[in-house]
Amino acid sequence: MRLGIIGCGNMGSALARGVLSKKILPFNNIYISDKDLHKIKELYKKFGIRVSANEELVKKCNFIIIAVKPQDSKILFRSISGELNNSKHLISIMAGVSISKIESLINKKIALTRAMPNMAALAGKSTTCLSHNKMVKDKAVVHSIFSSVGDVLEIDEKYMDAVTAVSGSGPAYFFYLAEALKEAAMKLGIKGEHALRLAAGTLIGSGALLDDLKLNPQVLRERITSKGGTTEAALRILKSKKFKNLVVEAIKAAARRSKRLSKCSTSSGFRPERSRGTKGA
């Protein structure tokens, strides 16, 4: 097996590092390509990964990750289509570009997977959702690639807009909450550096607890909330401001935006919003 990665931004680079660190493939079985020569030189110097032009990469590799901006995909697929055949498996992490759109761009029947990782891939903690077309026979290989940067779920592609809203954009909501916790701590007199450590540590620890105990978050919230205590006082304010409803409405707005972008990607104009890679969807 040979893996090619076209586009070595934050997400493409994270996947290359993950595959190497988990020993899924040796460095000489991975090929990379990017318009930014600095990015590929850095990966080559650090890991010895092979550098190749797009066409040569596709010719040599049987699994190819497409990690470019959506607006660059039409030109890219036109340039590599001559090397695509039924021995190839394309994996797209482009936001808002459907499997059917990619199939129409390459005009060939080959294995196609659409993946939605998130920014946490940089720390090996992404939750990646995968959707496949009917030509995909070896899902295990794709699963192993994305398992190298975190957890993996397989879903029907019709839910990908919801995944984008919850998980793809999710880290931004998390960081926004961290901002709020830090600001609150500082207003209560805690110095900036300590406020940040308190906010980040609380969120990281809470996430780890949720993952470790495998309990419904409501159960954990109720365990912490003593009647008449400090937590109850804070939650009373959040509930009075309809905090949960606000979050749900925000996620719905993100999902609606993702759906509109997906529809744009199926039109002849094809001008979806810039793919943000690790900056969210």
- Output the pLDDT for position 275: 39
pLDDT at position 224 is 96
Query: Do 135 and 75 lie in a common domain?
Result: yes
216: left (phi over 0), alpha (psi -120 to 50) or beta: beta
Q: What is the CATH number of the domain that holds 218?
A: 1.10.3730.10
Q: What is the structure's pLDDT at 40?
A: 85
63 belongs to a structural domain: yes
Query: What pLDDT, in 10s, does the model give residues 94-111?
Result: 988 999 999 999 999 999
Please indicate, yes or no, whether residues 148 and 204 belong to a single structural domain of this protein.
no
Q: Is the pLDDT of residue 175 over 90?
A: yes
Whether residue 23 lies inside any domain: the answer is yes
pLDDT at residue 274 is higher than 70: no
What residue numbers bound the domain in which 135 lies? 3-165
Task: Output the average pLDDT for the chain.
Answer: 91
E strand or H helix at 90: strand 89-92
Q: Is the pLDDT of residue 267 over 60?
A: no
- pLDDT for 265: 59
Count the domains in the chain.
Answer: 2
The CATH code of the domain that includes 18 is 3.40.50.720
Q: Residue 277: its pLDDT value, please?
A: 42
What distance in Å separates the CA atoms of residue 245 and residue 8, rounded to the nearest whole number?
Answer: 38
Do 58 and 129 lie in one domain? The reply is yes
63-80 mean pLDDT: 93
Kindly state whether residues 38 and 156 are assigned to the same domain: yes
Q: Which residue has better confidence, 96 or 184?
A: 184
**CA end-to-end span of the chain, whole Å?**
30
Is residue 84 within 8 Å of 31, Cβ to Cβ? no
* Same domain? 205 vs 127: no
Q: What is the pTM of this model?
A: 0.86
Q: What is the pLDDT of residue 270?
A: 45
Q: Which helix (H) or strand (E) holds 130?
A: strand 126-132
d(CA 94, CA 274): 9
**pLDDT bucket at 244, cuts 50 / 70 / 90:** very high
